[in-house]
Amino acid sequence: MEPKSTDISLVKEIDETKQGDVFFQEQLAGKKADKHFYIESYGCAMNFSDSEIVASILGEIGYAPTKEISESDLILINTCSIREKAEETVRKRLRIFDKVKRKKPGTLVGVLGCMAERLKSKLLEQEKLVDLVIGPDAYRSLPQLVAEATEGEKGVNVLLSREETYADINPVRLQSNGVTAFISIMRGCDNMCSFCIVPFTRGRERSREPFSIVAEATELFNKGFREVTLLGQNVDSFLWKNPETGKEINFARLLEMVALVHPDLRVRFSTSHPKDITDEVLHMIAQYENICNYIHLPVQSGNSRILKLMNRTYDRNWYKERVDAIYRIIPDCAISSDMIAGFCSETEEEHKDTLSIIEYAKYSMSYMFFYSERPGTLAAKKYEDDIPLKTKKRRLSEIIDIQMRVSLEHNKKDIGQTYKILIEGNSKKSEFDYKGRNSQNKMVIFPKVEGLNPGDYCYVEITDATSVTLKGLCVENK
């Protein structure tokens, strides 16, 4: 049974998210661009953040973004390898780019990110669809590699780094709404989850210098942004040590530092790992009103044996204790999750443990997938992908059904409540309505009120709810 189309935002694959339109930014306004680049981003929020770093580097050599692929001199695709479907999508896009390139000789095509590192030889030699292949830690080499590709050479750099954090680069905010922005606080991952390719494509974990993070947040606030999301594969393991004093700054302290930029700057973060999220972090969230009461805490499976096979380094009881701690310390916190259906050797009873953890944790929403074996991972080397696709899809459908019901129940409890909403822009369905999010990361739709604009806060009383959206009326301006 295929996932239902209803409320599809609950179940859409992150790796299908695409940024096909890019817009000129204030940083480039008024500057004459010698050339233009077009970029598409797939995968996690980190990839979208990386594309903004790439845009900044390209701007230094005279490239400005365009949303028209036919106008571009350089076509880039920032890729994800976390699921097979993502790679299939990228291959289709590359074939389309190749047709554009044939119509406009001299146009360069490049692959960035995780797929670039994993499939460099195949992309360059066998398929011959690209001129540039650049890994996540090699974006500084773009000017040199673009120059080499312009001369007919293949530009390749997929070396991983133990130091690179791009801390000194001011990202160009691609397709920005001017209200919300990403800030990358660390790169790489030291967790060796057996199903995940990220440690092999993004390298070892390293934390960015915290004062550069605060400076970036401050600059964004001064430019009118009112929300930042701190990004990392595992933000809870953020740890920076001052080389001169030896003083350490952990994630809880970093949260406080960013929260103190301004009370009107909301702070979110993603992603947390259940083994590392501490009570200190939870108390910091509870202490500051502008640190949002929302935690994305991927469970992946509700069964302890499967979690061990996944090398998640926690069991069902540990996860439940962390959920209990969140609700104890931050009673109105919303928790979301990631879940994988049909991991290697998963039984029906073990699948039911995943269904029950949804009920226990009362997730506000989840990203849900069936298992897709990735070459090079520990699972691919050690375990047989032995669950039939039909069974995987049926189990995924059952997960989706329960999550949608739990999400609807979660949202219906908000009816009659009043929340502080940060206005992000017009609703997708009506120019007469605004959209914005509350602290719990729930999307709220409400009729426009004269005098309110994107970036403003207002208080909205919730009058109706679906499994993915709240609706209401503005009752008070901030």
The pLDDT assigned to 124 comes to: 67
The pLDDT assigned to 478 comes to: 55
- Structural domains of the chain in order of their starting residue, each with its CATH number: 8-157 (3.40.50.12160), 180-407 (3.80.30.20), 418-477 (2.40.50.140)
Pick from 146-160, 175-189, 357-371 the range whose average pLDDT is largest: 357-371
pLDDT band at 12 (very low <50, low <70, confident <90, very high): very low
The pLDDT assigned to 89 comes to: 83
For residue 75, is pLDDT > 70?
yes
pLDDT digits 0-9 by tens, 430-469: 999 999 999 999 999 999 999 999 999 999 999 999 999 9
For residue 427, is pLDDT > 50?
yes
pLDDT band at 477 (very low <50, low <70, confident <90, very high): low
For residue 249, is pLDDT > 50?
yes
Span 84-91, average pLDDT: 77
For residue 126, is pLDDT > 60?
no
pLDDT band at 1 (very low <50, low <70, confident <90, very high): very low
Q: Among 147-151, 401-405, 425-429, 440-444, which stretch is predicted with the lowest mean pLDDT?
A: 147-151
Write out the chain in H/E/C secondary structure: CCCCCCCHHHCCCHHHCCCCCCCCCHHHCCCCCCEEEEEEECCCHHHHHHHHHHHHHHHCCCEEECCCHHHCCEEEEEECCCCHHHHHHHHHHHHHHHHHHHHCCCCEEEEEEHHHHHCHHHHHHHCCCCCEEECCCCHHHHHHHHHHHHCCCCEEECCCCCCCCCCCCCCCCCCCCCCEEEEECEECCCCCCCCCCHHHHHCCCEECCHHHHHHHHHHHHHCCCCEEEEECCCHHHCEEECCCCCCEEEHHHHHHHHHCCCCCCEEEEECCCCCCCCHHHHHHHHHCCCECCEEECCCECCCHHHHHHCCCCCCHHHHHHHHHHHHHHCCCCEEEEEEEECCCCCCHHHHHHHHHHHHHHCCCEEEEEECCCCCCCHHHHHCCCCCCHHHHHHHHHHHHHHHHHHHHHHHHCCCCCEEEEEEEEECCCCCCEEEEECCCCCEEEEECCCCCCCCCEEEEEEEEECCCEEEEEEEEEC
pLDDT digits 0-9 by tens, 169-188: 888 888 778 999 999 999 99
Span 361-381, average pLDDT: 94
pTM tops 0.75, yes or no? yes
pLDDT band at 245 (very low <50, low <70, confident <90, very high): very high
Mean per-residue pLDDT of the chain: 89
Which residue, chain included where needed, has tokens 């791009």? 166
pLDDT band at 114 (very low <50, low <70, confident <90, very high): confident
Share of the chain above pLDDT 90, in %: 68
For residue 225, is pLDDT > 60?
yes
Span 200-221, average pLDDT: 93
The pLDDT assigned to 4 comes to: 32
Given CA atoms 212, 31, 24, 98 in this order, what sign does their dihedral have?
negative
For residue 38, is pLDDT > 90?
yes
Tokens of 244: 């001169």
Pairwise CA distance, residues 5 & 11, whole Å = 9
pLDDT band at 21 (very low <50, low <70, confident <90, very high): very low
Tokens of 409: 């129940």
Pick from 78-82, 160-164, 271-275 the range whose average pLDDT is largest: 271-275
